[in-house]
Amino acid sequence: MENFALIFVAIFVGYIVNQLQLLPKDAPNILNQFVIYISLPAMVLLQIPKLSFSSEVFIPIVLAWIVMSISALLIFFISKKLEFSREVTGALMLVGVLGNTSFLGIPIVHAYFGETAIPHVLMYDQLGAFIALATYGTFIASYYSNTSEINIKIITFKILTFPPMIALAVALMLMGTTFHPAVISVLSSFADTIVPIALVAVGLQLQFKLPNQYVKPFSISLFVKLVLAPLVAYGVCFVFSWDNQASLVSIMESGMGPMITAGVVASMAGLAPRLSSAIVGYGTLLSFLTTAVLFKLIV
């Protein structure tokens, strides 16, 4: 209960602070950068070495890519069938596919499964959602906005120099290593900041305005992201008889709300900004309900 109280209070505080304009407009970016450059790498270094090499390590990665691929194909064909505009299709291909698997995923999964589940969250997020954002997300934004060409070298450089990715590479080499208590204490202190700071940043960026003409794509996007995506993950686990913590955590991760960064990318690319923001805003709040139902169904 305490974990959920912190989640809701932190998001609410961020939303109210934004409405009252108590912080500079770039406050969400600053908080996000703190999490990306300090909090998340610390958590990766703290948690990933606790894993041991086994098939379970790869389950979150495999599920992440299968779920995102099927979601993208579904949204693409639905958008074609319903003749959505190019801008709306591009927006849905971003916010309807990419999930908030770190900023929301970490606190929500921790609340349900405890700290032992966090390494699986990090594998799903870093080797799944983040790489998809950097590659697939860049392609979608460029293709549907026609504002810039895709530069593979730049994308590769960004992935390899992304602080949590560097931390992940180091952490994977340290799997099975027991750190000195002083190192654990320092890493824990920084890692503990990820939940309140990330969730306040989420609250600062929430927007809920939705023009009437966007109701249909809005509904389809959230249905695919919050309902069909976890069903796909569950189906894959059933087919392969995966029944362990890694698979359960991955199913929960697949049902997280839309990625805020994906919404920002869509808005910056001119892909239906108000629709993208509304999907992220409402999707974030709805995901608390849908993940609660999902947890009851799979555990």
Domain ranges of the chain: 2-298
- This prediction has a pTM of 0.83
pLDDT at 153: 76
Tell me which long-range contacts 238-245 makes (C-beta under 8 A, separation of at least 24): 242/59, 244/56, 244/59, 245/56, 245/113, 245/116, 245/117, 245/120
Write out pLDDT tens, residues 108-137.
999 999 989 999 999 999 889 988 988 898
* For residue 95, pLDDT beyond 60: yes
What average pLDDT does range 192-220 have in this prediction?
A: 84
pLDDT at 3: 67
Helices 59-81 and 245-254 pack at an angle, to 10 degrees, of 30
CATH 1.20.1530.20 fits 2-298, yes or no: yes
The residue among 92 and 193 whose pLDDT is bigger is 92
> Quick one: residue 221, left, alpha or beta (phi over 0 = left, psi -120 to 50 = alpha)?
alpha
pLDDT at 8: 82
What average pLDDT does range 74-86 have in this prediction?
A: 95
Judge whether 99 and 259 are in contact, CB under 8 Å. Answer: yes
The token pair that represents 207 in the structure block: 């927007």
